[in-house]
């Protein structure tokens, strides 16, 4: 539509190359320099004698309603001095009006034509917006196997049956068993849920359709449901196949909750998933695998038997699992001969599979940065610290600040070393990492899955040991203990609210599980009286104060 101004100029005399005042035009007419004047309403077009095979043209304007002949007479110019023509603009205005009306329609139609050709004229909804955005890993193209997944042995055993279902469905159908419709993988971020799902497809050698829950959603209502239909139709045509929905909680949250716009579209999408999973026949060999780290917010209809028949929990790997993961990521990398893999596994308590992969990559980068040919144990140690706390920052602290930071970290180390309920101290440093001016790291000898009341109290004391050292040696407190106070308060709150480790007894004061979704928590009234809430706060304060005094 950019050519409309050009058409307008063409019909209104855009061929004029110069504009002069009316007085100058009259003077040149009086001097006989102008051959012809064309009157176009209030515009006067002056044509001069030909020069260099071109006719010079100039433009001027007169006042509206004033006769050009009258202007010449008032200036004392004889009408015989110049030829005057009055141009009819009726035709040009009609043509311009038609072009102005037709051109936008033609331009829009042309744009639509090219877009339709690009997207495909037969697409679902406008320009294929209702088509599934799933990534297809074709049969035989999935290189990941169960041997490439470590640290989740129990989950692998559970999914081996799913692989057998896909490989030999008749074996189960002859015994009257039906193929499981869905498998829900539950676990924190980075433990390998997506990797495990891809390994299932690789072992079964079937097409693998991968899509994130958020990719179903758009601003247009109905798009999510359309994409669900298209995804399931495509998977059925490629059966046996696997549909993997990552972060399924983005569309699978409980219906009837939500305080922001757009949850209607999410609920429509969820309803369509439920309908599609109900539509599987017993002999369908399409399995839906979904992953989430928020199983508590999922709609009960989604996770009932008959839809997601199996729930597989993936936890952070234990020492043996971490060692296996480290060895997998060590393949293809040169290491020193004195590498202690067991020590590396013990050093990385609380690391997920993704953290360990990142650690191995950082260690390789450090060795390359120093122009070494192999990766050392020191590289692994530094990489683990970097992944957990962030890179070193050589901040220029003053002498007083460095001294206070040193006493603060020494306080953590001494209290942590003296108390029996804490983990052994591994490293103390006043080199800044992340937002911390210093840090004290402890390393447990074994993985722990539960903690006693005395251990939690000792942890609070060790966390507040830095603040206690500031008070003892400087009789002053700093803001460096802000994160310590937050951690200590979090432990004390869990002891009172969740674990029943207070004078209030074994009573839970947290939100009920059926109200775990944030939307319902916002709308539900508090289940604890103001008096009891005050007592809860008093108990939390008491536990923190006792920990500080112990430190």
> Which residues are marked as active site?
409
Note whether 206 and 241 are within 8 A (CB).
Answer: yes
| Residue 413: both structure tokens together | 């180390």
Distance CA 205, CA 1 (A): 53
Q: How far apart are CA 310 and CA 273, in angstroms?
A: 17
Residues 547 and 481: their CA atoms lie apart, in Å, by 14
CA dist list (Å): 196 to 86, 150, 168, 183: 85, 9, 20, 12
Fill in the DSSP letter of residue 339: -
Q: How far, in Å, CA of 386 to CA of 359, rounded?
A: 8
Dihedral sign computed on CA atoms, order 17, 20, 25, 27: negative
Residue 396 exposed, middle or buried by CB count within 10 Å (0-12, 13-18, 19+): exposed
Count other Cβ atoms within 10 Å, centred on residue 309: 17
Q: Strand 135-137 relative to strand 241-246: parallel, antiparallel, unpaired?
A: unpaired
Residue 232 and residue 209: Cα distance in Å, rounded?
10
CB 437 within 8 A of CB 405: yes
Q: Please report how the helices 453-463 and 465-474 are oriented relative to each other, as an axis angle in degrees rounded to 10.
A: 40
Report the chain's terminal Cα–Cα distance, integer Å: 77
What is the DSSP secondary structure assignment for residue 308, as one 8-state letter? S
Asked if the bond preceding 240 is cis, omega within 30° of 0, the reply is yes
CA 244 to each of CA 199, 225, 286, 297: distance values in angstroms, whole numbers, following the listed order: 12, 16, 11, 19
């Amino acid at each position: 539509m950019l050519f409309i101004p050009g058409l307008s100029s063409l019909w209104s005399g855009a061929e004029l190359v110069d504009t002069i005042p009316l007085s100058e035009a009259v003077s040149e007419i009086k001097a006989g320099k102008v051959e012809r004047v064309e009157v176009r309403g209030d515009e006067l077009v002056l044509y001069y004698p030909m020069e260099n095979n071109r006719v010079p043209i100039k433009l001027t304007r007169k006042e509206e309603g004033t006769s050009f002949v009258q202007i010449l007479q008032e200036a004392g110019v004889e009408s015989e001095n110049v030829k005057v023509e009055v141009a009819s603009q009726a035709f040009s205005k009609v043509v311009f009006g038609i072009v102005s009306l037709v051109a936008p329609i033609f331009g829009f139609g042309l744009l639509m034509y090219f877009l339709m050709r690009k997207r495909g004229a037969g697409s679902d909804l406008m320009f294929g917006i209702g088509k599934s955005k799933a990534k297809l890993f074709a049969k035989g193209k999935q290189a990941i196997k169960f041997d490439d997944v470590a640290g989740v042995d129990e989950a692998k055993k559970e999914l081996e049956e799913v692989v057998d279902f896909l490989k030999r469905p008749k074996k189960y159908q002859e015994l009257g068993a039906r193929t499981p419709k869905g498998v829900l993988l539950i676990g924190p971020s980075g433990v390998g849920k997506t990797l495990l799902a891809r390994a299932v497809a690789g072992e079964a050698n079937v097409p693998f359709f991968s899509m994130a829950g958020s990719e179903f959603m758009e601003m247009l209502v109905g798009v999510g449901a359309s994409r669900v239909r298209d995804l399931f139709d495509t998977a059925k045509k490629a059966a046996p196949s696997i549909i993997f929905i990552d972060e399924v909680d983005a569309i699978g949250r409980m219906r009837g909750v939500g305080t922001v716009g757009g949850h209607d579209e999410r609920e429509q999408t969820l309803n369509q998933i439920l309908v599609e999973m109900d539509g599987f026949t017993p002999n369908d060999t399409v399995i839906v695998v979904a992953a989430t780290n928020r199983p508590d917010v999922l709609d009960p209809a989604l996770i009932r038997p008959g839809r997601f028949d199996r729930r597989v929990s993936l936890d952070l790997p234990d020492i043996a699992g971490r060692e296996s993961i480290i060895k997998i990521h060590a393949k293809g990398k040169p290491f020193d001969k004195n590498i202690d893999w067991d020590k590396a596994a013990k050093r990385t308590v609380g690391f997920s599979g993704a953290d360990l992969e990142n650690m191995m990559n950082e260690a390789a980068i450090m060795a390359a940065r120093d122009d070494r040919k192999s990766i050392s144990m020191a590289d692994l140690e530094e990489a683990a610290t970097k992944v957990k706390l962030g890179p070193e920052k050589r901040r220029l602290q003053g002498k007083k600040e460095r001294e206070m930071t040193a006493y603060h970290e020494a306080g953590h180390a001494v209290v942590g070393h003296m108390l029996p309920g804490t983990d052994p101290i591994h490293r103390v440093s006043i080199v800044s990492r992340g937002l911390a001016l210093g840090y004290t790291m402890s390393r447990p000898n074994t993985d722990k899955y539960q903690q006693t009341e005395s251990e939690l109290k000792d942890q609070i004391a060790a966390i507040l040991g830095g603040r206690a050292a500031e008070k003892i040696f400087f009789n002053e407190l700093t803001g460096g203990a802000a994160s310590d106070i937050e951690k200590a308060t979090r432990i004390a709150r869990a002891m009172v609210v969740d674990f029943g480790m207070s004078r209030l007894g074994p009573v839970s004061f947290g939100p009920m599980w059926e109200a775990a979704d944030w939307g319902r928590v916002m709308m539900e009234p508090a289940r604890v009286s103001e008096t009891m809430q005050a007592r809860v706060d008093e108990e939390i304060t008491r536990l923190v104060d006792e920990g500080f005094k112990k430190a």
